[in-house]
Amino acid sequence: MSTNRRGFLKGLAGAGAGAAATGMAGCAPDISPAPFVNAEKDASRRVVLTVSRYPDLSRPGGAITLRVQGEQQVLVAHPQGTQYVVLTSLCTHSGCPLGFEKNEAICPCHLSRFALDGTVTHPPARQPLRQFSSSFDSESGELTIDFGAGEEGFPSVVDGKIFFPFAQFPDLQTPGGKVEGTPGGYGTAIFVFSLEDGTYAAVDSICTHQQCPVQFRETEDDLFCFCHNSRFTKTGEVREGPALVTGDLKKFSVTSDTTGVTVAIV
């Protein structure tokens, strides 16, 4: 095992991720996390990188770990030619920072592997990485990463709010109904629930433990993180799992009138 990689694993243990490091059997191949780079976003939550300024990203097969204030840390990889991919940078198994080798994101701790679209190609990880919207301009050499990209057909954030008209989202008129999707201008999926008492709740979809997306389970009527088995209520309160330490899901204020439901994104 190389000195650099040994130092990385020692650092994980010192930062409280010792379980990840100690779970390795023997000495794994020499894989290190992609180098860290800081960047700033614009008012539209976009980051523009001039690729030639980053040697670790400009070479085919290279990658960087991008840190942007207020956003999820991401792995920006350059598989070949003008192809670039942007994925969440933490392994969904134990939260280790990912490296990139042979066109796969690889976890240095337990050797989970992920394809360019984020799907798992090798365990122990079971859940995929999230992929972010990006585009490369070959003339300017600029890579644009859009942290606020939304889902087609889903309402966008306007003046800090998202409006869900009942005419378009009739499920919200029925107690127990819900909508879920990714609003433009926010870039992360949210859930909006019509609760049995006639009120509404809206929560972010990212688990507070290690940033995996939660999913709604109809039978259990809850939100569940399949990465590490944290469980949350529809109003975002954590009930079980390692997220008991990190806390509830992010919650949004919700109001309603006869025409629809408004969620305040702050």
Q: Which of 5-9, 11-15, 106-110, 262-266 has the lowest mean pLDDT?
A: 11-15
Q: Which residues pair with 165 in a beta bridge?
A: 260
Q: Which one of 86, 115, 146 terminates a domain?
A: 146
| pLDDT band for position 154 (cuts 50, 70, 90) | very high
Residues 34, 141 share a domain: yes
Residues 166, 244 share a domain: yes
Higher-confidence residue of 264 and 94: namely 264
| pLDDT band for position 29 (cuts 50, 70, 90) | low
Residue at 152 is within a domain: no
pTM of the model: 0.80
The dihedral sign for the CA sequence 41, 44, 50, 54: positive
Question: Residue 229's domain spans which residues?
Answer: 161-264
**Strand ranges for 33-132 from DSSP E:** 36-39, 46-50, 62-68, 74-80, 83-88, 99-101, 104-106, 113-114, 120-122
- Three-state DSSP class for residue 55: helix
- Three-state DSSP class for residue 3: helix
Q: Which one of 89, 117, 146 terminates a domain?
A: 146
DSSP states of 116-179 as a string?
TTS-EEESS--SPPPB-EEEEETTTTEEEEETT---TTSPPPBTTEEEEETTT-GGGGSTT-EE
Residue at 155 is within a domain: no
Look over the chain and give the mean of its residue pLDDT values, rounded to a whole number.
89
- Number of domains forming the structure of the chain: 2
Residue at 9 is within a domain: yes
| Cα–Cα distance measured from residue 51 to residue 48, given in angstroms and rounded to the nearest whole number | 9
| pLDDT band for position 16 (cuts 50, 70, 90) | very low
Residue 257 has pLDDT above 90, yes or no: yes
Q: Which residues pair with 120 in a beta bridge?
A: 114
Residue at 151 is within a domain: no
Residues 175, 142 share a domain: no
pLDDT tens for each residue of 35-54: 999 999 998 899 999 999 99
Residues 10, 89 share a domain: yes
Give the list of residues 6+ apart from residue 78 with CB closer than 8 angstroms, or none: 51, 57, 58, 59, 60, 61, 62, 63, 84
Residues 128, 19 share a domain: yes
Residues 166, 139 share a domain: no
pLDDT tens for each residue of 223-239: 999 989 999 999 999 99
| Cα–Cα distance measured from residue 58 to residue 109, given in angstroms and rounded to the nearest whole number | 26
Q: Which one of 146, 178, 207 terminates a domain?
A: 146
Residue at 141 is within a domain: yes
Residue at 154 is within a domain: no
- Three-state DSSP class for residue 31: coil
Phi, psi at 147, each rounded to 5°: -75, -10
Mean pLDDT of the 17-24 span? 40
Q: Which of 64-68, 90-94, 102-106 has the lowest mean pLDDT?
A: 90-94
Residues 121, 188 share a domain: no
Tokens of 69: 């204030």
| pLDDT band for position 71 (cuts 50, 70, 90) | confident
Residues 191, 67 share a domain: no
Which CATH number do you get for residue 105?
Answer: 2.102.10.10
| pLDDT band for position 17 (cuts 50, 70, 90) | very low
- pLDDT at res. 94: 85
| Cα–Cα distance measured from residue 188 to residue 114, given in angstroms and rounded to the nearest whole number | 21
